Structure 1
């Protein structure tokens, strides 16, 4: 309590004498590493589409000076200069931007690139949201780093409230087994630690490959046939008929009942605040399937 009173007193003094006055701030990133800034971040480079969305939602959008490809939401993000793709960054351009904070996806090769940038002395916030709670807390932590706490707190509270409403709405629905296809060749799905598995649980459904530890494992057609899901969901972004391969197996429950869905991958696969739009869309589609199956009985 004394520390809080001291901080408020320092802010009041700074206002009275009309000089900038900032206390250093330190928050943990998603790996538990402390990120400490001497003053609020004012030149941020975002290295993943979902971190760009988080920063805007947290009120830090005006301070983003660089993004990666596909950082297309919200619309103002499209006007921010690109520093490359998620797997091929222009490190020289990033350094020219003189960032005081880098926020990026801590996964695979992207994590290796974050290591390089951190070795150059730039504070790096590693984003690794594998559950909804981490998305909400990320909004608050990023807001603290950019001194936009009111926006961050409001965004996090709205996220938590909406998530709670979705869970309450669908928690007693009849369980459905779902195969979630993110790529056709090779055939890929998402494991139990991915947010999509949490999205399915929120909707009263289960990922038939939730026991797989990899984030995006490759599976065989035979494995999917053995799992015999009630529903097959595909991410948009591949060929027009991404589910055509399954129509060769009319005895599968999902095919026999025409329970083949395509979901907007930008909404559901990105670990940002808009994921709840994708969750709500998924829940409604699965509920429609429950209603149809009930009518067929």
Structure 2
């Protein structure tokens, strides 16, 4: 990990008291537990029921459907699950985006989008949910995401919880998972519309930056919570790269503590941070913390006031709004190119 001073270590402690979706990125995505894949259709469904000319609107999932989740476990669906629980904010957003809100019987304590999710029964943490509440929900299928690690998954399965895990690392993974969930829940039309919208967002960004030369690409630093940044192998890094930026922490892997000296030396031209996020220790916003750091006034992004705030939830949840975060990133890095 970057950084070795006592002050940096104290700063890292603040992560646990920040927005749970950002903290979970460290706890969940940075884990050493390796999962075999992002999920796959073992027995792809066939379109049935309706004129093929009608396109996606006519697609109905043909059951039984065999699907493997991110842990490699095979599921056989004889019909679309009727009672669904989600203990991951990103997956909760996907379920509601697919029009399945009325079938959701419980969500994690931190599932707050869309607004309707807030009124659903609460099932506890995204890392270790309340086992009793989860069992009592009577869910046919429980969906979880990047924050729950394999030991917790296996423990819940040992309690006969039908748990389906997703582990997206890229935008393509997120879109693929949405299509897969559309097939599992017989919502293929909604899934295709959502995927198409996300792909259009991505194309808007890639078209805007496609003619940048390597010399024109801006160096970018992101501090997604006080004292923490992200290197290769995570979707936040991909957001920077697809936006045409060069992540100054790309030499690192996963979620890491920052080295203030290395960031000064890298001299980023743009700094991204989650807007409206207050550090519990200092009671300051992240951009205030950045501007007040010793020596950081020398950094080009600080000198030229190229600090751009992005929404903390869309940037930290690998769900349907991840391409909205991509557009925000691109606007922050190249405001003259992405409107």
Query: Would you say how many aligned residue pairs link Structure 1 and Structure 2?
Result: 273
- Contact 1:58–1:152, Cα closer than 8 Å, also in 2: yes
Residue 14 of structure 1 corresponds to which residue in structure 2? none
Establish whether residue 171 from structure 1 lines up as the match of residue 210 from structure 2: yes
Find the partner of 1:83 among 113, 118, 123: 123
Residues 260-279 of structure 1, C-alpha deviation per residue, up to 9 Å, x if partnerless? 22211111111111122222
Residue 258 of structure 1 corresponds to which residue in structure 2? 305
Residues 202-239 of structure 1, C-alpha deviation per residue, up to 9 Å, x if partnerless? 2210211123222x211221221222211121123233
Find the partner of 1:154 among 167, 179, 193: 193
CA distance in 2, matches of 1:246, 1:93: 41
Task: Choose 1 or 2 for highest CA Rg.
Answer: 1
1:172 to 1:33, Cα distance in 2 relative to 1, 3 A: farther
Find the partner of 2:88 among 48, 54, 63: 48
Other structure's SS at 2:257 match: coil
Greater Cα shift, 240-249 or 131-140: 240-249
TM-score by length of 1: 0.83
Greater Cα shift, 163-172 or 235-244: 235-244
CA distance in 2, matches of 1:101, 1:83: 14
Runs (5+) with no aligned partner, structure 2: 1-44, 51-60
Residue 192 of structure 1 corresponds to which residue in structure 2? 232
- Contact 1:57–1:139, Cα closer than 8 Å, also in 2: no
- Contact 1:22–1:40, Cα closer than 8 Å, also in 2: no
TM-score by length of 2: 0.73
Greater Cα shift, 165-174 or 141-150: 165-174
Other structure's SS at 1:267 match: helix
- Contact 2:201–2:327, Cα closer than 8 Å, also in 1: no
Establish whether residue 96 from structure 1 lines up as the match of residue 136 from structure 2: yes
Greater Cα shift, 139-148 or 44-53: 139-148
Residue 183 of structure 1 corresponds to which residue in structure 2? 225
Runs (5+) with no aligned partner, structure 1: 10-20, 292-297
Residues 60-79 of structure 1, C-alpha deviation per residue, up to 9 Å, x if partnerless? 22211110122111121111
Establish whether residue 130 from structure 1 lines up as the match of residue 169 from structure 2: yes
Residue 67 of structure 2 corresponds to which residue in structure 1? 27
1:262 to 1:4, Cα distance in 2 relative to 1, 3 A: closer
1:242 to 1:36, Cα distance in 2 relative to 1, 3 A: same
- 1:139 Cα shift? 1.1
- Contact 1:30–1:128, Cα closer than 8 Å, also in 2: yes
- Contact 1:52–1:71, Cα closer than 8 Å, also in 2: yes
CA distance in 1, matches of 2:259, 2:81: 46
CA RMSD of aligned residues (A): 2.5
Other structure's SS at 2:258 match: coil
Residue 330 of structure 2 corresponds to which residue in structure 1? 283
Misfit runs of 4+, over 4 Å? none
CA distance in 2, matches of 1:28, 1:157: 24
Residues 125-153 of structure 1, C-alpha deviation per residue, up to 9 Å, x if partnerless? 21111111111111111122212222122
Other structure's SS at 2:256 match: coil
1:245 to 1:72, Cα distance in 2 relative to 1, 3 A: closer
- 1:85 Cα shift? 2.0
Residue 226 of structure 1 corresponds to which residue in structure 2? 265
Establish whether residue 271 from structure 1 lines up as the match of residue 318 from structure 2: yes
Greater Cα shift, 159-168 or 136-145: 159-168
CA distance in 2, matches of 1:29, 1:246: 40
Other structure's SS at 2:109 match: coil
